[in-house]
Amino acid sequence: MPRIHFHHITRLTPEQYVAGLTDFGPDRSKLFSNSADEYLKVHQRSRTQADVTEGSRGIWERLHYDWSDPNHVVLTTTDSNIWGGASGHIYTFTRQLDGTTDIDVVVIREGKNLKGRLLGLVLGTIAGSLLERAFTESVEAMEVRNGVATGSYAA
């Protein structure tokens, strides 16, 4: 079961990133390239939680979003055509004294069928950099959206 770890430093506040992460409106794909608008369905949403199906390119998953702790957001996969078990995403935000935010992300992928196990193996080895690039691009898109200074702060 691959655990893929990303780390990025940004001028976004945790609140700004969480607002983008939990914006399930049209054009979500402009922030998250792996969330195509035609897959997006919000089943339920409250002030700090949501039940959402999203995906792209033939892969979808239903996720339970929990952002009740603004510095620790957990996305738990509840259904998917390829992911199961402990799959999900964990975002941890740490404010730095210089005004930046350290974003730490762990993506857990447990394949529930042959396609999922094979893709998990690929993601855990050579394709993990594609997910990292998608994450970095989401941070940069949110920086532009929020009008904050962009720059390469990746650690």
CA dihedral 82, 67, 142, 95 (to 10 degrees): -120
Residue pLDDT, tens place only, 77-122: 999 999 999 999 999 999 999 999 999 999 999 999 999 999 888 8
Among 90, 92, 18, CA closest to 48:
18
| Residue 38 CA from chain centroid, whole number | 18
Low-confidence ranges of the chain (pLDDT < 50): 154
Among 48, 52, 49, CA closest to 35:
52
Rounded to an integer, what distance in angstroms lies between the CA atom of residue 27 and that of residue 25?
6
Residue-level pLDDT at 46: 97
Beta strand pairing status for 72-80 and 59-69?
A: antiparallel
Residue-level pLDDT at 121: 84
Contact present, 47 and 153 (Cβ < 8 Å): no
Which domains are delineated in the chain? 3-146 (3.30.530.20)
Q: What is the pTM of this model?
A: 0.91
Give the single-character DSSP code of 133: H
Residue-level pLDDT at 40: 97
